[in-house]
């Protein structure tokens, strides 16, 4: 299926045929960015790259420090920071207001997100809201139209790119008004360092390797897969006018986030796996929270809203 948003020509007047298509997809790379060499590296870029490198080097010690206790520390950390922190809190709750939680629980889950080392809530939510506002356009934060590697990781090390697109992040005023989120923004690095110290004190080097290195690298890469693969390979169930795709294995790895076309069709929805067979573990957790009275105002698309996004209805309007 040809995507409606792929331009016939770019800002330089080059035809679509002049660009390279990402293999086995309908995605045409219309722009390039020198995200490693040939650009000025800012201090924040060097810091991000240093943290990225450190955690990957730490994870290399995993085979030599394996214990079942350390493995389970990493796995539980994966659930807390990847599912409750990033997927439920940063994404569905803070970015899209798909549900409401009591403040004590909202702040707890957001703190888990901080320990995923993907940025503080204000940074993460701002980037993601811009992604939806400008999805798969030149102003998108991490679209594969700038290349697979850029959408996967390159954008994360290029603060200059972010500043060019959004010099002032005015789309997170709801978070900036809250003292807790401003505190996390100012003290962001301290929390990861503290987590590492506590893990080392608790279980030694093995806990540090698995509880920090393996866990953070794993959550980082599967999140990056959603940003890249989720806009390249898979299928589109809804007419979203962008490159978003549903990808079942991403849905399994990242607790339902792989149903990415579903999400872009109904970004306000707390449920991404809209069909019974589409595994969405985060949605199951939300339903449990709702059942015990801890989650409220849980949003899902209505049948009428689904009809509006269907390809059949959209095609009949032309």
CA dihedral for 230, 227, 269, 3, sign (positive or negative): negative
- Nearest by Cα to 114 from 181, 67, 55: 181
| pTM, 2 dp | 0.91
- Alpha-carbon distance 54 to 223, whole Å? 18
Q: What local confidence, expressed as pLDDT, does residue 35 receive?
A: 66
Q: What local confidence, expressed as pLDDT, does residue 13 receive?
A: 37
Q: What local confidence, expressed as pLDDT, does residue 313 receive?
A: 59
pLDDT tens string, the chain, 318 residues long: the values are: 334 444 434 433 334 445 689 998 989 998 777 767 777 788 888 888 999 999 999 999 999 999 999 999 999 999 999 999 999 999 999 999 999 999 999 999 999 999 999 999 999 999 999 999 999 998 898 999 999 998 998 888 887 777 777 766 789 999 999 999 999 999 999 999 999 999 999 999 999 999 999 999 999 999 999 999 999 999 999 999 999 999 999 999 999 999 999 999 999 999 999 999 999 999 999 999 999 999 999 999 999 999 999 987 545 444
Q: What local confidence, expressed as pLDDT, does residue 39 receive?
A: 76
């Amino acid at each position: 299926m040809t995507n409606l948003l792929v331009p016939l020509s770019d800002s330089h007047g080059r035809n679509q045929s002049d660009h390279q298509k990402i293999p086995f997809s309908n995605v045409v790379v219309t722009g390039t960015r020198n995200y490693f060499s040939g650009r000025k590296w800012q201090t924040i870029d060097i810091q991000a790259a240093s943290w990225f490198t450190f955690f990957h080097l730490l994870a290399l010690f995993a085979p030599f420090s394996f214990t079942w206790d350390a493995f389970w520390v990493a796995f539980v950390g994966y659930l807390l920071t990847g599912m409750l922190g990033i997927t439920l809190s940063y994404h569905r709750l803070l970015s899209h207001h798909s549900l409401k939680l009591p403040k004590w629980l909202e702040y707890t889950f957001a703190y888990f997100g901080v320990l995923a080392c993907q940025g503080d809530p204000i940074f993460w939510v701002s980037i993601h809201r811009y992604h939806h506002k400008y999805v798969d356009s030149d102003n998108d934060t991490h679209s594969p139209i700038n290349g697979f590697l850029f959408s996967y990781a390159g954008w994360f090390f290029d603060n200059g790119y972010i500043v060019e697109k959004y010099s002032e992040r005015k789309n997170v005023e709801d978070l900036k008004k809250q003292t807790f989120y401003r505190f996390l923004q100012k003290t962001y690095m301290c929390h990861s360092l503290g987590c590492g110290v506590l893990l080392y004190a608790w279980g030694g080097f093995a806990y540090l390797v698995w509880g920090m290195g393996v866990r953070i690298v794993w959550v980082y890469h599967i999140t990056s897969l959603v940003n890249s693969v989720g806009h390249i390979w898979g299928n589109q169930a809804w007419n979203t006018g962008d490159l978003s795709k549903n990808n079942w294995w991403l849905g399994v790895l990242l607790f339902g986030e792989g149903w990415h076309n579903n999400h872009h069709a109904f970004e306000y929805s707390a449920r991404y796996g809209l069909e019974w067979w589409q595994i969405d573990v985060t949605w199951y957790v939300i339903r449990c929270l709702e059942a015990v009275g801890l989650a409220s105002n849980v949003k899902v698309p209505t049948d009428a809203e689904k009809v509006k996004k269907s390809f059949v209805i959209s095609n009949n309007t032309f």
